[in-house]
Structure 1
Amino acid sequence: MSETLTDTLSPPRTDEARAYIQNPILRGFNPDPSIVRVENDFYIATSTFEWFPGVQLHHSRDLVHWRLVGRALDRRSQLDMIGNPDSGGVWAPHLSYADGLFYLIYTDVKTWGVREPFKDAHNYLVTAPDICGPWSEPVYLNSSGFDPSLFHDVDGRKWLLNMIWDHRKGKNPFGGILLQEFDPAAGELVGPVHNIFRGTHLRVTEGPHIVRKDGFYYLLTAEGGTTYEHAVTLARSKTLTGPYEVHPDNPLLTSRGRPELELQKAGHGSLVETQTGEWYLAHLCGRPLSPLGRCNLGRETALQRLEWPRGDWPRLAGGDNAPKLQVPAPALPAHPFPPENERDDFDAPTLSPHWQTLRVPHDESWLSLRERPGFLRLRGRESLISRHRQSLVARRLQAHVAEAETCVEFEPETFQQMAGLVAFYQANNWVYLRLSRDEVLGKSLNILTCDHSVYDEALDEDVSVEGAARVFLKVRFERETFRFAYATEPGAWREVGPRFDAGKLSDDYCQGLSFTGTFIGLCAQDLSGRRRHADFDYFSYREDA
């Protein structure tokens, strides 16, 4: 186990001093949680879709405090997403531990769409002796459907589960949950394929996870679709291959039909037992800007406490099946982590783990912390609508009220060279405060917008910043809206452009064509191909309480 993850613990809490878990525990675009406990440590893996490196890995020792410890898929040999569609890439990873190894199963989705019959979804396995890696080269498993998971049975055998995609006309495309044995020595699937569960009336059956308890195999699935009809379904069987009996009070968890709840879209769950015998359900959720409205932070992760008497069905603690904002924490010692810095001065030799790039890893050919120490240098490449080679590095928006700022030194020679600060959802939906060059005004700024692939400029005329060696850029989110500002002297901010609709940076606005969340990014483009560079001095991100 990594030395950084085995700190000395404080004394256990008493029942009177029991803390509460405040949901969501993983804020801002952290969907499809897969939770596992290894001795005294808890880990959650979440989906990253087209963002690289792939699969966010989070750590806790008390289920209350969490931190991002890294991402597993950090090499192109593990995950090559050039050309992947928006919200392709890594869907619903599954994290488990057995035989002294972490096992991570993931899908790389190459083709998908609500109006397309096919899903090209390839499933792989990587392993590591430590959560922080190094993670192995991938083992290919199958391509029959997405949301794979690996179940380690008590007899040592291992079983792969995934939903099967049925593209045929007139068929239910969510064709059930497949089960097949995995031979770790051979590194391949073996034996017959079983369709063990075809779902309930809620339909859209996906996200299978299995746990064994009290002589039963419990099969947890996501149903209802990952929006406002989402739910966690539970079924059980005495034998692994079924038949599976559905929970008498199914669904186990849902927000469906309760627009007053602050946590919506509750579904896609994963179960964990603490070392003190307490059970919790990790699940995705969304926090809309208005009742049943748009979730610009994306789908997040929450925890619910379960009551699970021996031999009986589990239920949410406190009754009903609605997700709760506050949940009693387990009887474990408190383990907070040091607060994170709001400001990144780019003085470290590597990027902070909060940064991600689109589809491909960064390298010195376009992103450098060494060419000019203390600055992040980006060399301009393709446009913001590209699905191949963008010079964009971004972090998640994790609160409805937050602001980010940077300072950039950039001397464009032509209108085809741009750099700046972008509020980004996907290649077809973003708002970009950019510096460029105008033939009359010289170095100037404007706000470019892309709304469902419709390009526009928010200002009728560029604002000249000619002669300013350094330009400060800021974006502030205030729940339903966000707005940009700029300065040519420290602190002398001037708001620029209109207020923009924050809800447009959401999968709800994108009509189900995206599954991510709002990112705030630094970027550079050079459509002339000359790779003009921009130097960013710092980046700060601050959330209001």
Structure 2
Amino acid sequence: MPQITNPILPGFNPDPSILRVGEDYYIATSTFEWYPGVQIHHSRDLANWQLVTRPLTRKSQLDMRGNPDSCGVWAPCLSHADGLFWLVYTDVKRKDGSFKDAHNYIVTAPAIEGPWSDPIYVNSSGFDPSLFHDDDGRKYFVNMLWDHRVRPLLFAGIALQEFDPVAGRLVGPISNIYQGTDLKLVEGPHLYKRNGWYYLLTAEGGTGYDHAVTFARSRNIDGPYETHPDQHILTAKDDPLNPLQRAGHGDLVDSPDGKTYLVHLAGRPTTQKRRCVLGRETAIQEAFWGKDDWIHVKQGPLPSLHVELPGTRDEAAYWAEQRYEFDGALHRDFQWLRTPETDRIFSLTAKPGALRLYGRESIGSWFEQALVARRQTHFSYDAETVLDFAPTDERTMAGLAAYYGRYNFFYLAVTAHADGQRELLIMSSEASFPDGKLRFPALPVPIPNTGTVRLALTIRGPALQFFYALAGAELTPIGPVLDASVLSDECGGHAEHGSFTGAFVGVAAQDLNGTASPADFFGFTYRPVRDPSDRYEV
């Protein structure tokens, strides 16, 4: 059987929930503050995956304006029963401090592409919900319980309650069925049934370098649950040199030929500071059931970089240059931040052949900013676009951004001086937590007040360099080499346990005068680059 190199979903694709319907596999992953909500990928061979939909596309399903960085959609769970796809998700409105406002919903669809229903509100007692369809037709909702009173009781266990799909609400008593192991921080529950056992898979240890997948079982759905003899069936916490770190938050799937696979999140740290620029990615491991009815990860509990799968990855597609034209439809690779009201931040018809952004709030705003971007999925790449923009003063700007969140981004913007002279300015929020103040790593460069500007950047591992060119000229470097490794979970303002997304690259526009000045972008190119220094590149 051929081998693939993990991860199977590179770049920001955390908290995988996997499902097989017939010959088709689906994985749903978290999207946090990026809109539309939830990514669902499809595969027939477990090796090659194609993004097929983001189901939370309208205001009635999801409105994240005001959600802080790394809030929004957490840990979706995808299942199939009664002829429907069921998607459970959390919209987190607050995560810092003792309280978490985490609202859990269910949507359904007859097909994976939709149409997806308006949501049913379920509860807000904790995050990471999932829905279990028992073989007697009953359904059960599980989520971690949040206790705001005192650490370490914030993670108070796993709650189970029956869900009535006809009434559209929870019914009956709530049971706290599992409190986890001494690793603490039990979350990410999934229930399964096999050979008369109910199995509970959870995540523990936080989503940083102590992360783990824990397994337990019971003859009764409401417990008591006995922890696996090995406690953690997958973790890299005891081997800091393993190429896949932060391994945890998993889900199980059986193949048609009877094999079992575990998908899980993992990070690939770079530099001596162990920064995961590509965020938490989705990896896969083969597992097997022992004679004692306990599951084990093949060659575990360490996650393997190389895994045998039915399919062979299409390496040419992975390394292919992506040229995006803005010719009437926004390519599926792109997302934006928080808002369902897209016509306020961009248009694909206002200027033929261009993506028009309407300048809104400042870059890093948690409410309404015009930033359209795609994931960074390679450690080294080039990106470029062509911009036509006429700023009026220093409060109007548009350009090319390498972005993680409010506290870590790099932005090459076309803007203007107070006298109206157009100029290029590099803005950085590097290491700005907690003050959030901009840094300016180079003096502004005056440019003519009319004409398009070509903007580009290169990332080679931890090194980022911006470039520009006026019409008819070659690209010229601008500013110093910048530290691209800060575009990582570890530098998002909340260290490894509080920043959950990944690096993006895209286009942005701001108008702090409130006049929504337009900026037109003509095409966008993302070009992966093979770099010998990329130790973990797939």
- TM-score category (smaller protein): over 0.9
- Equivalent residue letter for 1:320: G
Residue in 2 aligned with 1:400? 379
Q: Distance in 1 between matches of 2:15 and 2:80?
A: 18
- Residues 441 and 497 of structure 1, relative CA distance in 2, 3 Å threshold: farther
Is 1:474 the counterpart of 2:456 in the alignment? yes
Out of 302, 308, 315, the residue aligned to residue 322 of structure 1 is 302
- Equivalent residue letter for 1:350: A
Out of 459, 469, 486, the residue aligned to residue 468 of structure 2 is 486
Residue in 1 aligned with 2:522? 537
- Equivalent residue letter for 1:386: S
Out of 431, 455, 464, the residue aligned to residue 438 of structure 2 is 455
Out of 369, 388, 392, the residue aligned to residue 409 of structure 1 is 388
Residue in 2 aligned with 1:74? 57
Q: Secondary structure at 1:249's aligned position in 2? A: strand
- Residues 491 and 159 of structure 1, relative CA distance in 2, 3 Å threshold: farther
Q: Secondary structure at 2:38's aligned position in 1? A: strand
Q: Secondary structure at 1:364's aligned position in 2? A: helix
Residue in 2 aligned with 1:304? 285
- Residues 373 and 325 of structure 1, relative CA distance in 2, 3 Å threshold: same
Contact 1:86 1:426 in 2 (8 A): yes
Is 1:367 the counterpart of 2:350 in the alignment? no
Q: Distance in 1 between matches of 2:410 and 2:53?
A: 28
Out of 277, 298, 306, the residue aligned to residue 258 of structure 2 is 277
- Equivalent residue letter for 2:12: F
Is 1:508 the counterpart of 2:490 in the alignment? yes
Residue in 2 aligned with 1:382? 361
Residue 343 of structure 1: CA displacement?
0.5
Q: Secondary structure at 2:88's aligned position in 1? A: strand
* 1:179-218 matches, cutoff 5 A: 179-218=160-199
Residue 173 of structure 1: CA displacement?
0.7
Taking structure 1 as the reference length, what is the TM-score of the superposition? 0.93
Residue 338 of structure 1: CA displacement?
6.8
Residue in 1 aligned with 2:534? none
Out of 495, 505, 513, the residue aligned to residue 528 of structure 1 is 513
Q: Secondary structure at 1:72's aligned position in 2? A: coil
State the aligned residue count.
Answer: 522
Contact 1:212 1:218 in 2 (8 A): yes
Residue 371 of structure 1: CA displacement?
1.2
Q: List per-residue Cα deviations over 1:237-271 (Å, max 9, x = no partner).
A: 11111111111112100011212111100000000
Q: List per-residue Cα deviations over 1:298-324 (Å, max 9, x = no partner).
A: 10000000121455211111x331111
Residue in 1 aligned with 2:535? none
Q: Secondary structure at 2:191's aligned position in 1? A: strand
Q: Distance in 2 between matches of 1:396 and 1:162?
A: 29
Residue in 2 aligned with 1:10? none
Q: Distance in 2 between matches of 1:80 and 1:247?
A: 40
Out of 319, 335, 356, the residue aligned to residue 356 of structure 1 is 335
How many percent identity over aligned positions?
51
Q: Distance in 2 between matches of 1:458 and 1:441?
A: 22
Contact 2:62 2:340 in 1 (8 A): no
Contact 2:403 2:503 in 1 (8 A): yes
Residue in 2 aligned with 1:52? 35
Q: Distance in 1 between matches of 2:313 and 2:148?
A: 49
- Residues 74 and 490 of structure 1, relative CA distance in 2, 3 Å threshold: farther
Coordinate RMSD, CA, aligned? 1.7
Q: List per-residue Cα deviations over 1:258-286 (Å, max 9, x = no partner).
A: 12111100000000001110000000000
Residue 416 of structure 1: CA displacement?
1.1
Q: Secondary structure at 1:508's aligned position in 2? A: helix
Contact 2:355 2:522 in 1 (8 A): yes
Q: List per-residue Cα deviations over 1:504-540 (Å, max 9, x = no partner).
A: 1112123243211111120111111111111000100
- Residues 374 and 235 of structure 1, relative CA distance in 2, 3 Å threshold: same
Contact 1:61 1:335 in 2 (8 A): no
Residue in 1 aligned with 2:145? 164
- Residues 170 and 536 of structure 1, relative CA distance in 2, 3 Å threshold: closer
Unaligned runs of 5+ in 1: 1-17
Q: Distance in 2 between matches of 1:292 and 1:495?
A: 27
Residue in 2 aligned with 1:61? 44
- Residues 441 and 392 of structure 1, relative CA distance in 2, 3 Å threshold: same
Q: Distance in 1 between matches of 2:156 and 2:490?
A: 25
Q: Secondary structure at 1:250's aligned position in 2? A: strand
Q: Distance in 1 between matches of 2:321 and 2:291?
A: 45
Residue 290 of structure 1: CA displacement?
3.1
Q: Distance in 2 between matches of 1:284 and 1:382?
A: 33
Residue 472 of structure 1: CA displacement?
0.6
Q: Distance in 1 between matches of 2:69 and 2:356?
A: 26
Contact 1:214 1:310 in 2 (8 A): no
Residue 482 of structure 1: CA displacement?
1.1
Q: List per-residue Cα deviations over 1:339-388 (Å, max 9, x = no partner).
A: 776101111x2211111111013533331111111110111111013111
- Equivalent residue letter for 1:244: Y
Residue in 1 aligned with 2:536? none
Q: Distance in 2 between matches of 1:329 and 1:143?
A: 38
Q: Distance in 2 between matches of 1:171 and 1:412?
A: 51
Residue 169 of structure 1: CA displacement?
2.6
Residue in 2 aligned with 1:464? 446
Is 1:240 the counterpart of 2:221 in the alignment? yes
